[in-house]
Structure 1
Amino acid sequence: MVSSGKRQFKTKSSIYNATLKLLKDFDSEITVKSICEKAGITRPTFYRYYKDTTHLLNSMSEESLNELNKALVIDKKTPLKEMKYNELPINMIKLFEHILENKTFYEVFLLNKKNQYFTDQMLLILKEYIKRGIEYGASDDDILVPIPLLLNYSTGAYFNSIVWWMQNDYPYSPKEMTAILLRLSIKGPYRKELASFIKD
Structure 2
Amino acid sequence: MQVNTDLMAEMGLSPAEAARRAQIIGATIGVLSDLGYRRTTFAKIKERAGLSSTRLISYHFTNKAGLMQAVLSTVVETKAGFLTERTGGGLDPADRRGYLRAHIETSVAFLRAYPECVRTLSELAANADDADGWVMTKVLVDDLRVHGLARQLKQGQAEGVFGEFTPEVMAMSIAQAIDGVAAAYAADPELDLEQYGRELADTFVKATAP
Q: Check whether TM > 0.5.
A: yes
1:141 to 1:61, Cα distance in 2 relative to 1, 3 A: closer
Of the three residues 2, 6, 13, the one matched with 2:22 is 13
Of the three residues 72, 75, 96, the one matched with 2:92 is 75
Structure 2 match to 1:62: 73
Structure 2 match to 1:198: none
Displacement, 1:162? 2.2
Q: Structure 1 stretches of 5 or more lacking a match?
A: 189-200
Displacement, 1:22? 2.6
1:182 to 1:38, Cα distance in 2 relative to 1, 3 A: closer
Displacement, 1:118? 4.3
1:120 to 1:43, Cα distance in 2 relative to 1, 3 A: same
Structure 1 match to 2:176: 160
Of the three residues 101, 110, 123, the one matched with 2:122 is 110
1:119 to 1:160, Cα distance in 2 relative to 1, 3 A: farther
In structure 2, distance between residues paired with 1:90 and 1:21: 27
Q: Tell me which amino acid in the other structure corresponds to 1:180.
A: E
1:90 to 1:112, Cα distance in 2 relative to 1, 3 A: closer
SS in 2 for 1:30: coil
In structure 2, distance between residues paired with 1:141 and 1:17: 40
Matches within 5 A, 1:120-159: 120-125=139-144, 126-133=146-153, 135-136=155-156, 139-140=159-160, 143-145=163-165, 150-159=166-175
Pairwise CA RMSD of aligned residues? 3.7
Q: Tell me which amino acid in the other structure corresponds to 2:34.
A: D
Structure 2 match to 1:181: 200
Displacement, 1:156? 1.0
TM-score (normalizing by structure 1): 0.65
In structure 1, distance between residues paired with 2:103 and 2:40: 35
Q: Tell me which amino acid in the other structure corresponds to 1:127.
A: H
Displacement, 1:110? 0.7
SS in 2 for 1:187: helix
Deviations along 1:124-174, one digit per CA (max 9) or x if unpaired, are: 2343234325534774496234xxxx211122112212222222226343x
Q: Tell me which amino acid in the other structure corresponds to 1:103.
A: P
Computing the radius of gyration over CA atoms, which structure comes out larger, 1 or 2? 1
8 Å contact from structure 2 (residues 121, 141) kept in 1: no
Displacement, 1:60? 0.5
In structure 2, distance between residues paired with 1:144 and 1:133: 10
In structure 1, distance between residues paired with 2:162 and 2:57: 54
1:25 to 1:135, Cα distance in 2 relative to 1, 3 A: closer
Of the three residues 43, 58, 66, the one matched with 2:54 is 43
8 Å contact from structure 2 (residues 96, 153) kept in 1: no
TM-score (normalizing by structure 2): 0.63
Identity %: 10
The number of aligned residues is: 176
Q: Structure 2 stretches of 5 or more lacking a match?
A: 1-8, 129-135
Residue 53 (structure 1) aligned with residue 74 (structure 2): no
1:163 to 1:111, Cα distance in 2 relative to 1, 3 A: farther
Displacement, 1:35? 1.7
